[in-house]
Amino acid sequence: MKKLLSLSLLALPAALVAAPAANWASRVTMTPIGGHYMGNPAAPTKLVEYVSYTCSHCAHFVSEASAPLRTDYVKGGKVGVEVRNAVRDKYDLTAALLARCGGPAKFMGNHEALFANQSAWIVQVEAYDGNGAAKPTDQIPALKDIGQKTGLYALMNKRGFTNAQLDACIANPQSMKQVLAMTDEAWTKVKITGTPGFTINGTKVDGSTWAIVKAALPPVAR
């Protein structure tokens, strides 16, 4: 009888067998402007975050919001989250280029690691900025020097990247173009007043905390 029962279950039409729910939080793609979008492409609610890697408020937002956004909003397909850059200085630019190493599959991990370790590498940035030593003047060598001497390369080494790979990420002209385009959009078109800045379905959010962003998400997202 048990054998017959097992066979009968195997014979159930495929349409009656529930498929596992998609985990949209595991899907990260690059958008036309160069941002990194996590979630269902057809999500009815789209949150865009404009961030600066040297911004302490951004680090606080990411530490507070990443887990609930991923689990409660993005995973089920109701919300898509896109990270875009709003670069403020050369140190921020260095970090933004390094975050893109490894492509979309590695981006969110790089992004969160840079913020999680910000307090450590920002101290080295401050020391580097004030040490008075001669520094490269050309842009790409200058950014590589920053990466090598402020702990940013060391952090990315722990994530599996070699210095040669990191140098290539810094020197990637397409990445540079995209980061600067997003920065221009943030400050001159969206006109964010600081970082982090946000839009939800194209409308700018008045505030920069997770509590404000969460309250601004439409009911469909909850």
Q: Quick one: which of 154, 192, 198, 168 has its CA closest to 97? A: 168
Domain ranges of the chain: 30-221
pLDDT exceeds cutoff 80 at 116: yes
Structural class in CATH, domain 30-221: alpha beta
Selected residue with higher pLDDT from 222 and 137: 137
- Give the mean pLDDT of 94-121: 98
Residue 156 CA to residue 163 CA, distance in Å, equals: 9
Q: At 218, is the pLDDT very low, low, confident or very high (cuts 50, 70, 90)?
A: confident
Q: What is the pTM of this model?
A: 0.89
* Tens-digit pLDDT profile for residues 39-67: 999 999 999 999 999 999 999 999 999 99
Residue 110 CA to residue 98 CA, distance in Å, equals: 8
Residue 140 CA to residue 92 CA, distance in Å, equals: 14
Residue 101 CA to residue 103 CA, distance in Å, equals: 6
The whole-number pLDDT of residue 219 equals 77
Residue that the structure tokens 């937002």 belong to = 61
Selected residue with higher pLDDT from 12 and 190: 190
| C-beta atoms surrounding 31 within 10 Å | 17
The whole-number pLDDT of residue 22 equals 84
Q: Quick one: which of 99, 110, 119 has its CA closest to 55? A: 119
pLDDT exceeds cutoff 80 at 113: yes
